[in-house]
Structure 1
Amino acid sequence: MRATKAIIHLDNLKSNIKNIKSFTDPSHTKMCVAVKADAYGHGAVQCAKAVLEAGADFLAVATVDEGAELRQAGIKAPVLMLSLCCPEEVPQAVKNDITPLVFDTDYAELFSKEAVAQGKDNYAVHLAVDTGMGRIGVLPEDAGKAAEAILSYKNLSLGGMCTHFAVSDCTDEESRRYTKLQFSRFEEAVGNVKKSGIDPGIRHCCNSAATLDLRECHLDMVRPGIIAYGYYPGDMNSDYFTQKGTPVELKPVMTLESKVCAVRPFTSGKSVGYGRTWTSDSETDIGVLTLGYADGMLRKFSSAGICVAVDGKVYPVRGRICMDQCMIDLGLNSGVKRWDRAVIFGDRRDGALQTADDIARLTGTISYEITSCITKRVPRVYTE
């Protein structure tokens, strides 16, 4: 196995699910865990099995292929597809009982025709409602007619209704008002479907932030994503929930590590890496790691102040990150040796001194992107 690997702590994942479930009433609120984008880089199949063992009811994917992968692994739980697919993918979606979000007649007709062709009765779809996200969904005032249209097609049934919050992970008052407005518009949409004499099915709107912060919006199902993998959403953090009186512990599920493959003595004035962007101003040792932007150690990290932990001490990245390697400044007499383990981010019990969230803050992004960008060539090692 490569020196560079991602350790995936399934025990942390299960612990996170348990802690998230404590915010819900399992007697009437289901949980749909997002395992899209290969479970945010953690490995969809293994993580899906773990969250189902921990009590999840549904799984959420973004593409037909992601759903098919779960089915091929023997996973039988309901799978919700949060993004749209093209017509050529519809047969595979129906074959694998992947539940799509629909909001217009053209798209609904595709699934109706395929459900008829495959002999599947009451093929469930969920009606997507646009309450202010602006991506997909029917407007609330048109939800009743949209539900009627869905049921007018052969072999389709309305399994649920959903919307997505745009700023529920923001804590400023304007964002809070907007989220409340979105929720009220979703309730309006549900009401319009009921007025048409149609059962709206499973109502769901809560993403990670709303799951932890807006219990009054839970309805029939919540859809946690990043919090399952150990990171707080948006403006929220551990202190926020503690101060609110609803503390929640989330543990990072992924630890990214590599090894020091070489230690190079540098004299003052010697540069390292492409473009010679860093030059030593004194004697030092440079450690070379077998990790680069083709692994997810992105090139933009080069000048962001990212550090790597070796034996409990932090060493800064120097020079431009290469496709397959990066360099760290060890200083003099560090004691770091060739093949010593280097931890980029993750769980402290693995020797990490920073999380994906720390790196995200330094690079102007979010933890979701950091973990999702860890590429397939980095082996995942699963631990319980």
Structure 2
Amino acid sequence: MSALGEAVVDLDAIASNVRTIASIAGTELMAVVKADGFGHGAVPVARAALLAGAGWLGVTSASEALALRSAGITAPTLSWLHRPDDDFDQLIAAGVDVGVSTTTHLQAVVDAAHRLGVPATVQLKADTGLSRNGAAGDDWPELVGWARKYEVEGGIRVRGVWSHLADADAPGSPGLASQVAVFEEALRVARSAGLDPDLVHLANSAAALAAPRTRFDLCRIGLALYGVDPFGGTGPGDVGLRAAMTLRTTVVNVKRVPAGTGVSYGPGYVTGAPTTLALLPLGYADGLTRAAEGRAEVWLGGRRRPIVGRIAMDQCVVDVGDLPVAIGDRVVVFGPDRGDHAQPTVAEWARWAGTNPHEILTGVGARVARDHLHERAETS
């Protein structure tokens, strides 16, 4: 391990998760690789997911989409969050589908298509209750009306109509049925305007696993792609997802201290008895959020041991008691649950920090090396 810490990413786990979710959903899948593949590495994750059968890739930004194209990945890709003054020329030239939620964005895409002399492929997003992006109310009929006009004129092709669910991770939520109904009405309005989308999609990871009515033509899988239960243990049970990332490091200093020793800033922790402290070269700049202080544990010396004191930017301290720990010993911050509840998981770190696993995974910093296991040379 040359870096102070490394995130080991098992690409076979990514592939296994694609196959598992596809067998449950029974639809085509879009592998969501935004935020550098949830911190796992967008390009290797995309390749692994495509080789396992995913038909689409999903990203948030133009830069993410173009990075995939620069890596030689030509698979169908949707990019869905843009400023009106983004460089749509590059997206259109690269064959990337553009998510469109407002007439302002639609006009910008059409203008870019006219400059290039080729139609842009767009996917129109309806707001069905999340109140983020997407067109709602009277804005939706206006958006689809203009889209149909530009499609007839040859400026665009409307490939898809889609939306995003607000509470699919709460099984049985009445809001889920309401959102599906709103989406179905939005789809009816679009078709009444003359649009005939090839692709209709609503389901995210949780819906792909547990809400058949949401699946339509395609399911977008984010968190589940990386092997994390989107229900946080409250959903339909273990479906066989495999966590793809293990965050690990090594001990860089060890010291025996007496009772009453302050640890880290403050000090935020004082030893209650003689003990051994192990220093880890990872801190909140590397993804070990301070919000988990007082609760977080790591796997060291064959057992769980607590992080004590304040987590600093670059380092943290573990109280190992009387364990025979030495400099260079391996430490697992989080990794797959192997059924024995031994090493901590990303879901536990999220619970300790009062957040979701998405934030923990994407928070693993850039100076943590990524080691991709089972990477294949093929591109798609």
Equivalent residue number for residue 343 of structure 2: 353
Kept in 2, the 8 Å contact 1:169–1:236? The answer is no
User: Are 1:293 and 2:284 matched, yes or no?
Assistant: yes
Does residue 341 of the first structure (1) align with residue 336 of the second (2)?
Answer: no
Using the aligned pairs only, state the percent identity.
33
1:312 corresponds, among 302, 307, 314, to 302
Matched with 1:255 is 246
The aligned counterpart of 1:13 is 14
What is the alpha-carbon distance in structure 2 between the residues aligned to residue 117 and residue 8 of structure 1? Answer: 42
Does the aligned pair in 2 maintain the 1:125–1:160 contact within 8 Å? yes
Aligned match of 2:163: 163
Shift of 1:141: 6.1
Root-mean-square deviation (Å): 1.8
**Shift in Å at residue 101 of structure 1?**
1.6
Task: Check 1:187–1:140 CA distance in 2 against 1; reply closer, same or farther (3 A cut).
Answer: farther
Superposition pairs of residues 196-211 of structure 1, within 5 angstroms: 196-211=193-208
1:94: how far off?
Answer: 2.4
Counterpart of 1:241?
236
Which residue type is aligned with residue 261 of structure 1?
A: V
2:286 partner amino acid:
D
Aligned to 2:371: 381
Check conservation: 1:80, 1:98, Cα contact below 8 A. yes
Amino acid at match of 1:338: I
1:84 deviates by: 2.5
Contiguous gaps of at least 5 residues in structure 1: none
Residues 78 and 147 from structure 1, CA distance in 2 versus in 1: closer, same or farther, beyond 3 angstroms? Answer: same
Q: Which residue of 1 aligns with 2:32?
A: 34
Code of the residue aligned with 1:302 in structure 2: it is E
Q: Look up the SS of the partner of 1:287 in the other structure.
A: strand
Unpaired runs of 5+ residues, structure 2, are 375-380
Once residues 251 and 195 of structure 1 are traced to their aligned partners in structure 2, the CA distance between those partners, rounded to angstroms, is 43
User: What corresponds to 2:5 in structure 1?
Assistant: 4
Per-residue Cα deviation, 1:308-332 (whole angstroms, up to 9, x for no partner): 1113211110111111111000112
SS of alignment partner, residue 31 of structure 1: strand
User: Moved runs in structure 1, 4+ residues, more than 4 A?
Assistant: none
Q: CA deviation at 1:191?
A: 1.0
The aligned residue for residue 104 of structure 1 is 102
CA shift in 2, pair 1:348/1:189, >3 Å:
closer
CA-CA distance at 1:282 after TM superposition: 1.2
Q: Which moved more, 1:68-77 or 1:110-119?
A: 110-119
- 1:86/1:139 CA distance change after superposition, 3 Å: closer
* 1:329 counterpart (319, 325, 341): 319
Counterpart code for 1:161: V
> Normalised by the size of structure 2, how large is the TM-score?
0.93
Instruction: Report the residue type matching 2:347 in the other structure.
Output: D
Deviations 1:246-285 (A, max 9, x none): x511111000000001111111111111111111121111
Q: Look up the SS of the partner of 2:166 in the other structure.
A: coil
Aligned to 1:369: 359
1:217 paired residue number: 214
AA aligned to 2:311 is I
8 Å CA contact 2:22, 2:28 repeated in 1: no
Q: What is the rounded CA distance, in whole Å, between the counterparts of 1:235 and 1:12 in structure 2?
A: 19
Tell me how far 1:337 sits from its aligned partner. Answer: 1.1
Spell out, residue by residue over 1:177-220, the C-alpha distance to the aligned partner (whole angstroms, 9 max, x if none): 11111101111111112222320331000011110011122111
Q: Deviations over 1:295-319 (max 9, x none)?
A: 111122222x111111321111011
Deviations 1:70-92 (A, max 9, x none): 00000001111132334143233
Rounded Cα–Cα distance in structure 2 between residues aligned with 1:366 and 1:106: 33
Aligned-pair CA distance for 1:152: 2.2
> Is 2:185 the partner of 1:183?
no
Instruction: Check if 1:192 corresponds to 2:222.
Output: no
| In 1, Cα distance between equivalents of 2:337 and 2:170 | 27
Q: Is the 8 A contact 1:147 1:158 kept in 2?
A: no
Judged with a 3 Å threshold, the aligned counterparts in structure 2 of structure 1 residues 12 and 106 are, in CA distance, closer, same or farther, namely same
